[in-house]
Structures are given as C-alpha cells and as structure tokens.
Amino acid sequence: KEQTPLQNRLERLGKQLVVLCILICGVVAFLGVLRGEKAYDMFLFGVSLAVAAIPEGLPAIVTIVLTIGVQRMVKKHVIIRKLPAVETLGCATVICSDKTGTLTENRMSVRKIHVNNRNITVTGIGYRPEGDLISDDGEILTQTSPELKRLLEIGVSCNNANLYQAKTGILKALSGKQELKVSGDPTENAVLMAAYKAKVYKDDIDIKYQRLKEFTFDSDRKRMSVIVKTARGEIFLFTKGAPDVVISLCNKIEQDGRIREFTKKDENQITQAIEDMGKQALRVLAFAYKKMPVTELNDKDPENNLIFVGLMGMLDPPRAEVKDAITKCFSSGIRPVMITGDHKATAWAVAKELNMLTEGAFMLTGKQLDEMSETEFLNCVDNVAVYARVTPRHKLKIVKALKKKGHVVAMTGDGVNDAPAVKEADIGVSMGITGTDVTKEASAMILTDDNFASIVAAIEEGRIVYDNIRKFIRYLLSCNVGEILTMVWASLLGLPIPLLPIQILLMNLVTDGLPAMALGIDPPERDVMQKKPRGKNESIFSGGLGIKIIYRGIFISIATLISFILGYMYMKDLQIARTCAFSTLVAAQLIFVFECRSEKHGTWEQNPFSNIYLTLSVIISGAMFAAVIYVPFLQLIFHTTPLDGKMLAMIIALAGLSAVI
C-alpha cells in the first residue's frame, strides 16, 4: 500500500500519542482509585478516556482527504499516478516545462517563408484552405518560383502527416469556410497547409517522388530526411530540420535559378533571417536537398554536401490561460522555466510574451550547458529562465542541478528519452495526449490536456489538501488535549470525575466524526497561492500549529472545568454538574471547529455557509447532543439532566469564551 511521507509521519505520531494517552489515562485512573473511586469504574473510565483521546480517525481522514484531492485534480485534467505527489505538489519551487504543446497550443501555422534571400508572408487561419502567399512588396504570388516550389516539394515529401477534406454539411460547404482535416505531427501539418495554399498537394508529390528510405527525426539529430525516386529514375535526398543543423550539412545554395557555393555571407544572411523570425516567436525549419547517384543509396550517412533552399517560420500561439498561470506561479514563490529544442530567439520571444522573464533572468543553450562545468552551472542555475536547443540529457542535468540547490522540481516530458529526467524530478509530469507509455510510467502525474496551467492548478490543489489536513489535525488534537486536561485538572484538584465513560465515548462520536471530515473538504483560503512553498521536510506542526493545539486545548479544558465546578457548587447535584461539563466540552469543540478553518482569521470573521458540509455536520452533531440531554430515555442511558436557560447561557458563554480568547 502506497503512503505519502505525511501519512508515514502521522502514523508514527499516532503511535507516540497512543503511548502518551495510555500513560496519562492510567495516571488519572490511578489517582481516582486513591481518592476512593471503585477500581472497576476507574478502569472503565481510563479505557473510555483513552479511546476518546487517541485520534484513531486521523489516518482514515488523511487518506480520504488525499483521495478527494486526487478526484478533484481529475476534473482539472490531472491524473495522479503516485499518491505522494499530492503532498509534494505543495512544496514545488520550480516548474520546468516544455514549450511546444504545454506553454503553447501545438497548433502551428506557417507565417513566413524565406527563399531567394526574400521573405514571403503566408496568410490564413488554422486548417482552412483560404490563404495566400504575399511577397515583400505586398503582391499576391500567383506563380511560385522554382526555389519556392522546390522548398514546398521538399516539405511535402519529407513529411509523414496527412491532409484531407473533412465531411461537412451543405451550409458550411456553401459558406466556403470548410476546414481541412490533418493527422500527424503539428509541425508537419503546418508545412502541408502552406504547400496546399500554393497548390502543391501531397497526393501529387507522393506520385512524383516515390519514397525509398527514411531517416527519422529525433531530439539528437534534429532533422528528418527521405530518399526519393522520380519517374525518370532520378534519386534525391530531401532534408528538413533545425536551421543550425541543416546549414552545417550544406555546401551549396540554390538561389535565383542557379546553384552555387554556400558562402559565409550566405550563412550570415540566413542566420539574420532566422533571428528575425525568432524575434516574432516563429519556430523555424530549414530545407535542403541533393541529387544522389545510385551508388550512394546504401550509404549509412548520406546527409552531407546538401543544397540549401530556404526557411519556414511557424507560429505556435501561446495558450490563452498560461499567462495567468505564470503570474500565479510568481505570486506563490514558484519559478517557471521553459525548456525547448527551438532556436534561442524563438524561445526568448515566447518567454517574453508569457511574462516568464524576471529581472536578472537569462537564457542558456544546450551548447553552453555542455561547455559549463558543474560548479559554473550550479552558480547560475537559479537565474536561468529559458533553456533553448536542449536535448533530453540536458533536462536530466537541469533537474539534478536544481535539486542540488534545494529546489523541489516539477519536470514535464513526453518522449521516451525524457523518462530519466521525469523520473529524477520530485514531481515527474507526463503528457496525456502526446506522451509515450515509457514517460507516463516514469511520471508521478499525467496531464490529460498537456497544458501548463493544469500543473499550476494541481499545485494549488496540493496546497489546499495539505492546508485541510492541518485544519483537522489542529481540530482533533486540540479537542483531545482539552478532554485529557479536563480529567487531569479534576484529578489534581481532588474533584469528582467530570465525565462518565459513556459520555466520553458519545462526545468522541459527536465531535470527532462529521466535523473533522467536513474540515477535510473545506474551500481554500483566498491567499492559498499567495504563500511561499513550504519546505519538503517541514513538520506538519510548523508555523506555530503545535503551540496553537496546546493553547486551545488548555482553554477548552479550563472552560469545561469551570462549568463543572459552577454546576456542582450552585446545584449541589453531581449529575447536573457532569451534564454542564459534557455540554460545555461539546459546545466548545463545535464552535472551535469553525476557528480551525483559518490560521489567520478568527471564528467571527468567517462565513459559516461557505462550507455548507461543515455547517450541516455541526447542526447534526448539535442535534445529537441536544437529544442526549432532553430526550428522557437517552437521559437514562447517558446519565444527563435537562438544563434550564441560565445553565445553557453559562455553557454557551464559557464555550464561546474559550474560542475567542
């Protein structure tokens, strides 16, 4: 059975409390025998007090609250695979997130094409076929240049996505707003759509160029290539991929109708075009090709001596809800970090648009990470907001460095190679839509919508769960301290036993059940995401909670003892005095449960109806308590006496006083 660290700590605490309570109850029972009480009665009393004082419901309520938290997270698109993640979420100090699909929509569209050292703008929305290619001087291109056509043919042939007409109704067809259906990688979908607008169709290209071999894309190669054959028997290698990688494989360039040597000037011009696209938050792909002799078909590494053709810049818009989620991160002491394989200019532009960049923040590339020593990286890791051009092995290095600096790290991942970093992180997060089974297995939680905002929502839920656990721990232990101290004071003062065993057991049932459970589902306080993350090994009693428990327990016991003494002095009837003590103890605890809803605000500052379950549980518990006092046959069972108005006023005053002092 999987248990969280908190559950394990509470289990140890429970065992310690059992020993302590048994000792105290034994002492109280022994003192009663010394005063002349019957040994059998004191034995029953001791057992009853021990049952009431030991918080036996604590583990069950913790488990229920954690389970309810997991169910609530499902509604926020988060599936918890490992229960300890619920607790760890509230400690997160850094969220390392992939850019594409998590911070952005992963719904790409080509916006710019760079070919012949000129830019072409691509218009249109989403996967609608409407759209034009517009030159720098604003003219709509009705004919494509040989270089532009070559670039589009490479993009369509070196592509595993598919584009087809969607089945639509008559009205939508007549309106001309039909949307094409796509299947495959969003980047490849965007390339197909750009080609479609230029009347370069995949079906035609697949007939023109028959694929013979494929060199698949991966995060290390950062490129994809295919070897194709034309009807005339010509063989070509088509390549698309990260610009810096593709450029490094080229020694020629096709420009303005001719093929020539690829010069340093060409490289500088292309690099500037990449930077300009990156500043517009465009993700850039480069395209190249070469004609191959048949003798090279079996070469293991044919991707060399390529002819550079051009670039495509794609817009992947940030998710609308991510900006607010990042603002929430900063206000709650959590630092969001972007990790991407994209060009540094693109990554920086997106981070800037999402307000991820704080004063002093900077960016590192995978190449810079490789050149840094471990000490150098540790010295600067706290200020890095963006990692660009990184691979999965860099992710693992980043996680380890952040953990060495004392951070509690959440790390996202989707590919097989991301699994080590996801597993190493304190909170491994996998993608439910694009994630592989290997990564999901390594993760602690899965995002069913692949959305960064869902991580922040899960962290908020984790904080709420932990706060609610603190609330009912405060309530249960304060009440138990109050019950035990009431008996201890009476024994030390030589007074009769204030409560009978059956009254103690009933009180345990009335006050420890429903109200404590209702506290576990209490709505969050407004500032739950305005607080700094708690320490991973922080005690559940931190922030003065232990002192508050003892303090409130003392006041509840004093109020109960005063009620017992006054009832005994003025009515000269032990049964009435015990009824007064029983009533005060129950009333004080039912009032105190509202105080436990907040560690900052008092009972009278809260809306009792904001947690209707708590209000109903108090009403039900109060009704049970009233029935015991005023229903005749229950009076005989529980040895109670009906109380008049004056007695009730005194009890309410003492119970209320213990809650406001």
Active site residues: 98
Q: How far apart are CA 263 and CA 248, in angstroms?
A: 12
Sign of the alpha-carbon dihedral angle for 415, 416, 421, 425 = positive
- Helices in 500-643 by DSSP H: which ranges? 501-512, 514-519, 545-571, 574-595, 612-630, 632-638
Strands, E assignment, 327-426: 335-339, 362-365, 384-388, 409-413
Q: How far apart are CA 592 and CA 472, in angstroms?
A: 11
Pairing mode, strands 162-165 and 180-183: antiparallel
Residue (of 470, 471, 518) closest to 617 by Cα position: 518
Residue 21 · residue 50 · CB < 8 Å: yes
Task: Assign 3-state DSSP to the chain and report helix, strand, coil percentages, each to 5.
Answer: 55, 15, 30
Residue (of 387, 330, 396) closest to 364 by Cα position: 387
SS3 146: helix
Residue (of 5, 12, 104) closest to 320 by Cα position: 104
Q: How far apart are CA 179 and CA 553, in angstroms?
A: 67
Give me the DSSP letters along 480-509: HHHHHHHHHHHHHTTPPPSS-HHHHHHHHH
Pairing mode, strands 384-388 and 362-365: parallel
Residue (of 486, 462, 458) closest to 586 by Cα position: 486
CA distances from 163 to 160, 315, 483 (A): 10, 19, 72
Considering only the C-alpha atoms of the chain, give the largest distance between any 2 of them, rounded to a whole number of Å. Answer: 116
| Dihedral pair phi/psi, residue 197, rounded to 5° | -65, -25
Residue 53 · residue 483 · CB < 8 Å: yes
What does the chain come to in residues?
A: 661
Find tokens 């990790």 and name the residue: 339
Sign of the alpha-carbon dihedral angle for 381, 383, 384, 385 = positive
Pairing mode, strands 118-122 and 133-134: antiparallel
Question: Each residue of 265-280: b (16+ CB within 10 Å) or e?
Answer: ebeeebeebbebbbee
Q: Between vectors from CA 486 to CA 482 and to CA 489, what angle results, nearest 5°? A: 130
Residue 331 · residue 356 · CB < 8 Å: no
Q: How far apart are CA 196 and CA 200, in angstroms?
A: 5
- Tell me which H or E stretch contains 240: strand 235-241
Bridge partners of residue 346, in order along the sequence: none
